[in-house]
Protein backbone atom coordinates (compact mmCIF):
# COMPACT_ATOMS: atom_id res chain seq x y z
CA UNK A 1 0.00 0.00 0.00
CA UNK A 2 1.36 3.39 -0.96
CA UNK A 3 -0.11 6.79 -0.15
CA UNK A 4 1.36 9.74 -2.00
CA UNK A 5 1.32 13.29 -0.64
CA UNK A 6 2.06 15.67 -3.53
CA UNK A 7 4.32 18.64 -2.87
CA UNK A 8 1.47 20.98 -3.81
CA UNK A 9 -0.62 19.65 -0.91
CA UNK A 10 2.05 20.56 1.63
CA UNK A 11 1.88 23.57 3.88
CA UNK A 12 4.59 26.13 3.17
CA UNK A 13 5.83 29.01 5.29
CA UNK A 14 7.85 31.99 4.06
CA UNK A 15 9.28 34.14 6.85
CA UNK A 16 11.71 35.91 4.57
CA UNK A 17 14.80 34.45 6.22
CA UNK A 18 13.24 30.97 6.27
CA UNK A 19 11.24 29.10 3.66
CA UNK A 20 9.94 25.88 5.15
CA UNK A 21 8.04 22.98 3.65
CA UNK A 22 6.90 20.69 6.48
CA UNK A 23 5.49 17.28 5.61
CA UNK A 24 3.82 17.08 9.03
CA UNK A 25 2.23 19.52 11.46
CA UNK A 26 4.82 21.92 12.80
CA UNK A 27 4.56 25.22 14.65
CA UNK A 28 1.49 27.20 13.75
CA UNK A 29 0.64 24.68 11.03
CA UNK A 30 -1.51 22.04 12.65
CA UNK A 31 -3.43 19.35 10.81
CA UNK A 32 -4.58 16.54 13.12
CA UNK A 33 -4.47 14.17 10.14
CA UNK A 34 -0.82 14.93 9.43
CA UNK A 35 1.08 14.69 12.70
CA UNK A 36 3.53 11.99 11.75
CA UNK A 37 4.13 8.56 10.31
CA UNK A 38 5.24 5.69 12.54
CA UNK A 39 7.82 7.24 14.91
CA UNK A 40 8.52 10.09 12.49
CA UNK A 41 7.16 13.43 13.68
CA UNK A 42 8.91 16.06 11.60
CA UNK A 43 10.18 16.30 8.04
CA UNK A 44 10.93 19.90 7.17
CA UNK A 45 12.61 20.88 3.92
CA UNK A 46 14.08 24.22 5.02
CA UNK A 47 15.84 27.01 3.14
CA UNK A 48 17.70 29.46 5.40
CA UNK A 49 19.03 32.81 4.29
CA UNK A 50 22.76 33.47 4.72
CA UNK A 51 23.72 34.02 8.36
CA UNK A 52 20.21 33.34 9.65
CA UNK A 53 18.92 30.49 11.79
CA UNK A 54 17.31 29.23 14.95
CA UNK A 55 18.47 30.77 18.23
CA UNK A 56 19.02 28.91 21.47
CA UNK A 57 16.14 26.55 22.20
CA UNK A 58 15.61 23.21 23.99
CA UNK A 59 14.74 19.73 22.84
CA UNK A 60 13.94 16.58 24.79
CA UNK A 61 13.07 12.97 24.04
CA UNK A 62 13.46 13.29 20.31
CA UNK A 63 15.99 11.91 17.85
CA UNK A 64 16.83 14.84 15.57
CA UNK A 65 18.65 14.49 12.25
CA UNK A 66 19.80 17.34 10.02
CA UNK A 67 20.85 16.45 6.48
CA UNK A 68 22.53 19.27 4.59
CA UNK A 69 21.57 19.42 0.91
CA UNK A 70 23.20 22.73 -0.02
CA UNK A 71 25.28 25.24 1.91
CA UNK A 72 26.57 24.94 5.46
CA UNK A 73 24.94 24.58 8.86
CA UNK A 74 26.52 25.52 12.16
CA UNK A 75 25.30 23.64 15.24
CA UNK A 76 26.18 24.69 18.78
CA UNK A 77 24.88 23.17 22.02
CA UNK A 78 25.21 23.19 25.79
CA UNK A 79 27.06 19.86 25.62
CA UNK A 80 30.04 21.75 24.22
CA UNK A 81 29.63 20.88 20.55
CA UNK A 82 30.19 23.50 17.85
CA UNK A 83 30.21 21.94 14.39
CA UNK A 84 29.84 23.18 10.80
CA UNK A 85 28.50 20.63 8.29
CA UNK A 86 27.95 20.73 4.54
CA UNK A 87 26.63 18.37 1.85
CA UNK A 88 27.86 14.85 2.55
CA UNK A 89 27.51 15.33 6.28
CA UNK A 90 24.76 14.50 8.76
CA UNK A 91 24.13 15.79 12.26
CA UNK A 92 22.30 13.58 14.76
CA UNK A 93 21.19 14.69 18.20
CA UNK A 94 19.54 12.45 20.79
CA UNK A 95 17.82 15.07 22.93
CA UNK A 96 16.96 12.69 25.79
CA UNK A 97 16.55 14.50 29.10
CA UNK A 98 17.26 17.86 27.50
CA UNK A 99 19.67 19.82 25.38
CA UNK A 100 19.90 23.49 24.39
CA UNK A 101 21.15 24.22 20.90
CA UNK A 102 21.31 26.66 18.02
CA UNK A 103 21.34 26.08 14.28
CA UNK A 104 22.44 28.74 11.82
CA UNK A 105 23.39 29.07 8.20
CA UNK A 106 27.18 29.26 8.58
CA UNK A 107 27.62 31.12 5.30
CA UNK A 108 27.34 34.88 4.86
CA UNK A 109 26.57 34.47 1.16
CA UNK A 110 25.09 31.08 0.32
CA UNK A 111 21.57 29.84 1.06
CA UNK A 112 21.34 26.72 3.22
CA UNK A 113 18.97 23.90 2.34
CA UNK A 114 18.56 21.13 4.85
CA UNK A 115 16.18 18.36 5.82
CA UNK A 116 15.18 18.52 9.48
CA UNK A 117 13.93 15.12 10.64
CA UNK A 118 12.57 14.28 14.09
CA UNK A 119 11.77 10.82 15.41
CA UNK A 120 10.37 9.61 18.70
CA UNK A 121 13.08 7.70 20.54
CA UNK A 122 12.99 4.06 21.55
CA UNK A 123 13.76 5.14 25.11
CA UNK A 124 12.88 8.38 26.89
CA UNK A 125 15.05 10.24 29.36
CA UNK A 126 18.42 9.11 28.02
CA UNK A 127 21.59 11.15 28.43
CA UNK A 128 21.69 13.69 25.58
CA UNK A 129 24.24 13.07 22.85
CA UNK A 130 25.34 14.60 19.56
CA UNK A 131 27.22 13.28 16.55
CA UNK A 132 28.27 14.62 13.17
CA UNK A 133 29.11 12.05 10.52
CA UNK A 134 30.33 12.15 6.95
CA UNK A 135 29.36 9.82 4.10
CA UNK A 136 30.96 9.24 0.72
CA UNK A 137 28.75 11.17 -1.73
CA UNK A 138 30.07 9.02 -4.59
CA UNK A 139 28.34 6.03 -3.01
CA UNK A 140 24.92 7.66 -3.51
CA UNK A 141 25.17 6.85 -7.21
CA UNK A 142 22.60 4.20 -8.18
CA UNK A 143 22.58 2.75 -4.67
CA UNK A 144 20.70 3.10 -1.40
CA UNK A 145 23.28 4.48 0.99
CA UNK A 146 22.52 4.24 4.73
CA UNK A 147 23.51 7.48 6.46
CA UNK A 148 21.75 7.12 9.84
CA UNK A 149 20.83 3.88 11.59
CA UNK A 150 20.64 2.12 14.93
CA UNK A 151 23.20 -0.17 13.31
CA UNK A 152 25.87 2.49 12.93
CA UNK A 153 29.31 2.35 11.37
CA UNK A 154 32.08 4.79 10.49
CA UNK A 155 30.00 6.62 7.86
CA UNK A 156 26.58 5.92 9.36
CA UNK A 157 25.44 8.04 12.31
CA UNK A 158 23.84 6.16 15.19
CA UNK A 159 20.23 6.86 16.19
CA UNK A 160 18.24 5.77 19.23
CA UNK A 161 15.40 4.18 17.29
CA UNK A 162 14.96 1.00 15.27
CA UNK A 163 15.26 2.65 11.86
CA UNK A 164 17.54 3.50 8.96
CA UNK A 165 17.73 6.56 6.71
CA UNK A 166 18.96 5.98 3.16
CA UNK A 167 19.90 8.52 0.50
CA UNK A 168 20.26 7.79 -3.20
CA UNK A 169 20.92 9.47 -6.53
CA UNK A 170 19.44 7.32 -9.26
CA UNK A 171 20.17 7.86 -12.95
CA UNK A 172 17.27 8.12 -15.37
CA UNK A 173 15.96 4.68 -16.26
CA UNK A 174 17.88 2.92 -13.49
CA UNK A 175 16.11 0.74 -10.95
CA UNK A 176 16.66 -0.20 -7.32
CA UNK A 177 14.74 -2.51 -5.09
CA UNK A 178 14.42 -2.46 -1.32
CA UNK A 179 13.22 -5.28 0.86
CA UNK A 180 12.33 -4.19 4.40
CA UNK A 181 13.04 -6.74 7.11
CA UNK A 182 9.33 -7.58 7.40
CA UNK A 183 6.01 -6.47 5.93
CA UNK A 184 5.25 -4.75 9.23
CA UNK A 185 7.94 -2.16 8.58
CA UNK A 186 6.86 1.26 7.32
CA UNK A 187 8.69 3.16 4.59
CA UNK A 188 8.80 6.92 4.15
CA UNK A 189 9.91 8.23 0.78
CA UNK A 190 10.86 11.83 0.05
CA UNK A 191 11.87 13.10 -3.39
CA UNK A 192 14.55 15.77 -3.08
CA UNK A 193 15.05 16.28 -6.82
CA UNK A 194 13.85 14.66 -10.04
CA UNK A 195 11.15 12.05 -10.58
CA UNK A 196 10.89 8.56 -9.16
CA UNK A 197 8.53 5.68 -9.79
CA UNK A 198 7.59 3.69 -6.70
CA UNK A 199 5.05 0.88 -6.38
CA UNK A 200 3.06 2.05 -9.42
CA UNK A 201 3.13 5.75 -8.56
CA UNK A 202 5.32 8.52 -9.98
CA UNK A 203 6.63 11.04 -7.49
CA UNK A 204 8.17 14.42 -8.26
CA UNK A 205 10.39 16.76 -6.25
CA UNK A 206 8.84 17.56 -2.87
CA UNK A 207 6.41 14.64 -2.97
CA UNK A 208 6.32 12.17 -0.10
CA UNK A 209 4.94 8.67 0.15
CA UNK A 210 3.92 6.51 3.08
CA UNK A 211 4.41 2.85 2.19
CA UNK A 212 3.13 -0.07 4.24
CA UNK A 213 2.69 -3.83 3.89
CA UNK A 214 5.26 -4.11 1.11
CA UNK A 215 7.79 -6.93 0.98
CA UNK A 216 9.76 -5.58 -1.97
CA UNK A 217 9.77 -1.95 -3.10
CA UNK A 218 10.80 -1.25 -6.69
CA UNK A 219 12.15 2.23 -7.37
CA UNK A 220 12.71 3.50 -10.91
CA UNK A 221 14.08 6.89 -11.90
CA UNK A 222 11.68 8.48 -14.41
CA UNK A 223 14.35 11.14 -14.62
CA UNK A 224 17.55 11.65 -12.61
CA UNK A 225 16.31 11.44 -9.02
CA UNK A 226 17.78 12.33 -5.62
CA UNK A 227 15.65 10.87 -2.85
CA UNK A 228 15.51 9.76 0.79
CA UNK A 229 14.03 6.46 1.95
CA UNK A 230 13.45 5.81 5.65
CA UNK A 231 12.77 2.34 7.04
CA UNK A 232 10.66 2.72 10.21
CA UNK A 233 9.19 0.39 12.82
CA UNK B 1 12.29 42.11 36.59
CA UNK B 2 9.59 40.68 34.37
CA UNK B 3 8.87 36.96 34.65
CA UNK B 4 6.88 34.99 32.08
CA UNK B 5 5.60 31.42 32.15
CA UNK B 6 5.33 29.69 28.80
CA UNK B 7 4.04 26.22 28.04
CA UNK B 8 4.51 25.18 24.43
CA UNK B 9 4.25 22.08 22.30
CA UNK B 10 7.75 20.68 21.88
CA UNK B 11 7.06 19.79 18.24
CA UNK B 12 7.14 23.11 16.48
CA UNK B 13 6.32 25.40 19.38
CA UNK B 14 2.52 25.79 19.42
CA UNK B 15 1.76 28.00 22.42
CA UNK B 16 -0.63 26.71 25.11
CA UNK B 17 0.05 29.13 27.97
CA UNK B 18 1.71 32.55 27.80
CA UNK B 19 1.40 34.44 31.08
CA UNK B 20 2.40 37.62 29.25
CA UNK B 21 -0.80 37.45 27.19
CA UNK B 22 -3.17 35.81 29.67
CA UNK B 23 -3.03 36.72 33.35
CA UNK B 24 -2.61 33.32 35.00
CA UNK B 25 -1.56 33.18 38.65
CA UNK B 26 1.02 30.45 39.03
CA UNK B 27 3.62 29.12 41.41
CA UNK B 28 6.66 26.93 40.99
CA UNK B 29 8.16 25.14 43.98
CA UNK B 30 10.77 22.48 44.56
CA UNK B 31 9.15 19.04 44.45
CA UNK B 32 11.49 16.25 45.47
CA UNK B 33 14.37 16.47 43.02
CA UNK B 34 12.17 18.31 40.53
CA UNK B 35 9.72 21.20 40.41
CA UNK B 36 5.96 21.52 40.68
CA UNK B 37 4.02 24.13 38.73
CA UNK B 38 0.52 25.07 39.80
CA UNK B 39 -1.32 27.30 37.34
CA UNK B 40 -4.76 28.79 37.95
CA UNK B 41 -6.34 28.76 34.52
CA UNK B 42 -9.88 28.14 33.24
CA UNK B 43 -10.62 25.18 31.02
CA UNK B 44 -10.22 25.94 27.33
CA UNK B 45 -9.40 24.33 24.01
CA UNK B 46 -5.75 25.23 24.60
CA UNK B 47 -5.73 23.29 27.89
CA UNK B 48 -7.39 20.34 26.18
CA UNK B 49 -4.65 20.37 23.52
CA UNK B 50 -1.97 20.79 26.17
CA UNK B 51 -3.19 17.67 27.96
CA UNK B 52 -3.30 15.77 24.67
CA UNK B 53 0.36 16.69 24.18
CA UNK B 54 1.45 16.17 27.80
CA UNK B 55 4.38 13.96 26.78
CA UNK B 56 5.70 16.66 24.48
CA UNK B 57 5.73 19.90 26.46
CA UNK B 58 8.31 22.63 26.74
CA UNK B 59 7.85 24.60 29.95
CA UNK B 60 9.80 27.84 30.37
CA UNK B 61 10.27 30.67 32.80
CA UNK B 62 11.74 33.76 31.13
CA UNK B 63 13.25 36.38 33.43
CA UNK B 64 13.87 39.73 31.76
CA UNK B 65 15.95 42.32 33.62
CA UNK B 66 16.64 46.00 33.04
CA UNK B 67 20.34 45.72 33.73
CA UNK B 68 21.31 42.20 32.65
CA UNK B 69 20.56 39.73 29.88
CA UNK B 70 17.43 37.62 29.83
CA UNK B 71 17.70 34.32 31.68
CA UNK B 72 15.66 31.44 30.32
CA UNK B 73 14.92 28.33 32.36
CA UNK B 74 13.60 25.28 30.57
CA UNK B 75 11.94 22.47 32.53
CA UNK B 76 11.98 18.83 31.46
CA UNK B 77 8.63 17.06 31.90
CA UNK B 78 9.64 13.45 31.38
CA UNK B 79 6.62 11.28 31.89
CA UNK B 80 3.74 13.57 31.16
CA UNK B 81 3.07 14.34 34.83
CA UNK B 82 0.43 16.89 33.89
CA UNK B 83 -3.07 17.05 35.39
CA UNK B 84 -6.00 19.43 35.31
CA UNK B 85 -8.39 19.82 38.26
CA UNK B 86 -11.69 21.07 36.86
CA UNK B 87 -13.12 21.86 40.31
CA UNK B 88 -10.17 24.07 41.19
CA UNK B 89 -9.54 25.27 37.61
CA UNK B 90 -5.95 24.39 38.29
CA UNK B 91 -3.25 22.85 36.12
CA UNK B 92 -0.40 20.93 37.75
CA UNK B 93 2.84 20.12 35.96
CA UNK B 94 5.66 18.12 37.54
CA UNK B 95 9.08 18.69 35.98
CA UNK B 96 11.96 16.29 36.52
CA UNK B 97 14.86 18.65 35.87
CA UNK B 98 15.71 22.01 34.37
CA UNK B 99 18.36 23.85 32.38
CA UNK B 100 19.09 27.54 32.81
CA UNK B 101 20.58 29.34 29.82
CA UNK B 102 21.42 32.79 28.58
CA UNK B 103 20.57 32.93 24.86
CA UNK B 104 23.11 35.71 24.21
CA UNK B 105 25.96 33.37 25.17
CA UNK B 106 25.28 31.27 22.08
CA UNK B 107 26.68 32.51 18.79
CA UNK B 108 24.27 33.73 16.14
C-alpha Rg value of chain A to the nearest Å: 17
Residue A233 to residue A84: CA distance in whole angstroms? 31
* ipTM exceeding the 0.90 mark: yes
Contact B108/A at CB under 8 A = yes
Contact B62/A at CB under 8 A = no
Residue B61 to residue A206: CA distance in whole angstroms? 38
Q: What is the total residue count of chain A?
A: 233
Q: Note the pLDDT tens digit of each residue in A9-32.
A: 999 999 999 999 999 999 888 898
Nearest neighbour of B108 by CB, restricted to A97, A104, A118? A104
Average pLDDT over residues A120-130: 97
Average pLDDT over residues A130-153: 97
Contact A152/B at CB under 8 A = no
Maximal C-alpha separation, chain A = 47
For residue B20, what pLDDT is reported?
Answer: 95
For residue A27, what pLDDT is reported?
Answer: 82
For residue B108, what pLDDT is reported?
Answer: 65
For residue A181, what pLDDT is reported?
Answer: 87
Each residue's pLDDT, cut to its tens digit, for chain B (108 residues) gives: 999 999 999 998 899 999 999 999 999 999 999 999 999 999 999 999 999 999 999 999 999 999 999 999 999 999 879 999 999 999 999 999 999 999 998 876
Q: Note the pLDDT tens digit of each residue in A202-230.
A: 999 999 999 999 999 999 999 999 999 99
B103: left (phi over 0), alpha (psi -120 to 50) or beta: alpha
B105 DSSP assignment: G
Nearest neighbour of A58 by CB, restricted to B74, B78, B106? B74
For residue A30, what pLDDT is reported?
Answer: 87
pLDDT at A193 over 70: yes
* A 114-133 near B (Cβ less than 8 A): 118, 124-125
- B12 with A102: Cβ contact below 8 A: no
For residue A133, what pLDDT is reported?
Answer: 97
Percent with pLDDT over 90 in chain A: 95
Nearest neighbour of A100 by CB, restricted to B96, B101, B107? B101
Residue A210 to residue A223: CA distance in whole angstroms? 21
A160 DSSP assignment: S
CATH 3.40.50.10800 corresponds to the domain A2-232: no
Half-sphere CA count of B10, side-chain side, radius 13 A: 32
For residue B80, what pLDDT is reported?
Answer: 73
Amino acid sequence: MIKVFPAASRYSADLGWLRSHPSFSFGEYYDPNRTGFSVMRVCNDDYLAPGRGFGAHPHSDMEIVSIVLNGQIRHEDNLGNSVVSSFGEVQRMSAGSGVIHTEFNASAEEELRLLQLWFMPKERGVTPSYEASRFDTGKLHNALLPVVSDESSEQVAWIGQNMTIYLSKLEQGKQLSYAPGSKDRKLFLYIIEGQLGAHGETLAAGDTAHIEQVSDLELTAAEQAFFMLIDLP
Amino acid sequence: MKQTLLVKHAVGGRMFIDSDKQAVPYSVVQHGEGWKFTVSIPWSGAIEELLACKNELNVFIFQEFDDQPTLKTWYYVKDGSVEYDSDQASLTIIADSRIEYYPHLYSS
